[in-house]
Amino acid sequence: MVTIPAGLMLFSRRIIAEVAMLAGLMQECKFRFPCGGHRQDATAEESPEGGMGCGCRKARLLARAYPAPQDIIGFRFLPFAMKFALTFLLAALLPSVVLAQQILAPQPPALAARAWLLYDLVSNQVLVAENSDERFEPASLTKLMTAYLTFAAIRQNKLALAQPVVPAAEALPASDEETRMLLEPGKPATVEELLHGLIVQSGSDAARVLALAVSGSEEAFVALMNKEAQRLGMKNTRFANATGQSHPQHYSTAYDLALLASAIARDFPERYPIYSLREYQYNGIKQTNRNRLLWVDPYVDGMKTGYSESGGFCLVASARRDTRRLVSVLLGAASDQQRATESQKLLNYGFQYYEAVRLYQKNQPVTSLTLWKGTRNKLEIGFRNDLFLSIPKGMQAQLKATTETQQPLIAPVSGGQKIGVLKLALAGKPYAEFPLVALEPVPLANIFSRGWDSIRLFFQQGIF
């Protein structure tokens, strides 16, 4: 092993830092000899510093800070061996500097909130997060689950959009502190109207009426809410009511709320456009959507706001650009305005610095494995759905994939059975893992083929 003297290492670091600074200045100026991006016909007389150049301020700065090697005092008198050594050192170490700059992931913005998360629906990945598993009072964000279960009841033909529902007196709020769509006792409203009141106006009265329409009672509806939360993987969520009213056993997290919002967009795309409505009128009174981003960001098309004294101002927002959809969850902001501006920062960060790339198409073989005792001796493995991965932009070339599989692989194998894992590394660091499954079933072979494979396995791997 070659040991580099400490003095030389310090000197080399200084050289690398200077070269990196030079590269940054040149990139900012779009510097190409004599000076790309500016006038190419500048003469020595036009440049105050003399010599070939465009005379721009950045070019003059470069000329002062980084003169040609032959102009550096003493350079021409350095021994040839030292010149060669320095040149070799720069050639060897400079690529490391460039690589370090390339793999440096952009830092997420500093957000004025207690917890937040950014989720990419295309790849089903969390891009960035802070305190995403900390429990919060979800307040009116609870109504995302109320809407999800109502959408499901409509799909299952338990409810119909045009179906009238008569609000019971006990379902209507007794206090003006709750947000309402202003339902009246005994006056029927259709399921479609109730959904608009729930989503656009955040009506707690609409939430209770829908809960009774779906399950017969709010208690039964809450049990359904918690069951569905577990099915969706919301492990740190518990509901105590359909409206988001404060309760010691009513809580969720930024991560769980992202799962719920994603499920709505994914499972009920035909109902999702309701979340993009800026206002809705019922009973002669027009109310506006509290999601400010619907007015200021043309890409934002949902989803839900919430507020409580303990949880602060909260917002689940979703935006779509081309085929990409991101969901942001921001909890614990200090004001209505702040939850909107901070959520917009988060969404813009995700679209600006990350991209979702398709690595494999569904049912595309990733690799084939030797299969023993089956009707075929090869098994193709891959993914049942297209595999997308969200990575910092411009880093796809630094993505490396390896597979780990069960060996030896012995039939029978069912279609979709997990066979191994695809491990992805980005710039040499572990980044993501995905299960690999059998693309087709392979039954057992006849007794003679199985016997022959048993003999081969015994002599090759010591397995009978």
Q: Which of 47, 202, 215, 262 is catalytic?
A: 202
For position 175, what pLDDT does the model report? 67
Q: Which of 143, 304, 345, 373 is catalytic?
A: 143
Classify domain 115-356 at the CATH topology level: Beta-lactamase (3.40.710)
Q: What is the mean pLDDT of residues 190-204?
A: 97
Q: What is the mean pLDDT of residues 294-322?
A: 96
Closest CA to 2 of 88, 95, 96: 88
Q: Collapsing DSSP states into helix, strand and coil, what is residue 164?
A: strand
Query: Is residue 140 flagged as an active site residue?
Result: yes
For position 172, what pLDDT does the model report? 86
pLDDT digits (tens, 9 = 90+) for 345-393: 999 999 999 999 999 999 999 999 999 999 999 999 999 999 999 999 9
For position 171, what pLDDT does the model report? 86
Q: Do domains 115-356 and 369-385+398-461 have the same CATH topology?
A: no
Residue 140 has pLDDT above 80, yes or no: yes
Query: Is residue 262 flagged as an active site residue?
Result: no
CATH of domain 369-385+398-461: 2.60.410.10
| pTM (2 d.p.) | 0.76
**Whole-angstrom Cα distance, residue 179 to residue 202?**
6
Q: How confident is the model at residue 24 (pLDDT cuts 50, 70, 90)?
A: very low
272: left (phi > 0), else alpha (psi -120 to 50), else beta?
alpha
Q: How confident is the model at residue 174 (pLDDT cuts 50, 70, 90)?
A: low
pLDDT digits (tens, 9 = 90+) for 247-294: 999 999 999 999 999 999 999 999 999 999 999 999 999 999 999 999
Query: Is residue 304 flagged as an active site residue?
Result: no
Helix (H) or strand (E) holding 357: strand 354-360
Q: How many CA atoms lie within 13 A of 270 on its CB side?
A: 6
Domain boundaries of the chain, sorted by first residue:
6-103, 115-356, 369-385+398-461
Q: Which of 47, 123, 132, 140 is catalytic?
A: 140
Residue 214 has pLDDT above 50, yes or no: yes
Q: Which of 60-64, 143-147, 169-173, 302-306 has the lowest mean pLDDT?
A: 60-64
**Whole-angstrom Cα distance, residue 413 to residue 395?**
36
Q: Which of 40-44, 144-148, 242-246, 427-431 has the lowest mean pLDDT?
A: 40-44
Token pair 């500097």: residue: 97
Mean predicted lDDT score pLDDT of the chain: 83
Residue 32 has pLDDT above 60, yes or no: no
Q: How confident is the model at residue 105 (pLDDT cuts 50, 70, 90)?
A: low
